[in-house]
Structure 1
Amino acid sequence: MMRSTTISPTWKSALLRASEILRFKKTTAAQSPAFHNAGSVSYLSNGPLLEMNSIICSEFKETDNEFGDGGAVGIFTEDYVDQDDLYPYVPEKRIPQDATVVTQVRSHLR
């Protein structure tokens, strides 16, 4: 028999449970494919709760002469959110994980 679980409407989140890691995904009002706000809470069985809140921006160009040598290029950036009034950090309960990431993917012909 399957059990159903109700998710708090306050978070408007999807919960995933896999090998002792808990994550939540925040939904955003602006649904743009190039910008996304994501948050997660994770833990390991013997460690503290860790929280990440970040803004993700991406861009893809089929043809790019400036950075892609005329081929396709994609750029992905992620930066942490310092202050979030809607979902504030709770340092007494979770440790913030702050990360800044920039990734470029280019096509190469042999």
Structure 2
Amino acid sequence: MQIFGMRKKGKPIIKCDKCNRIINKEKPKWKKVGDIEYYYLKCPRCKAVYTISATDTALRQDIKRFEEMTAKAQGRKPTEKEIQEAQELLQANVARNREIKAQYPLEIKP
């Protein structure tokens, strides 16, 4: 999946690596396999699957905690400590998401 700039409303232009079809209009799909939840895009032409995210229970809890931290800071200036904690949690969440995607690749049967 390749991203080629942004459209008017700030959405990325996404193109399939296999058949070069633009797949912007596709809505992400959701699938749960055991404890792992996946969000993915599927090319309507060649059926290539692109995993957007893969999360387990612990990561979903950390994502919720991050969202609560950012919501708490709405309407006021967060402290340096709050900013640092939020950035560290975000980086840890992104790294964990990548680990889960690598460890548990999504398999979609045709």
Normalising by structure 1, we get a TM-score of 0.32
Structure richer in strand, relative to its length:
1
Larger Rg: 1
Q: Which protein has the bigger helix share?
A: 2
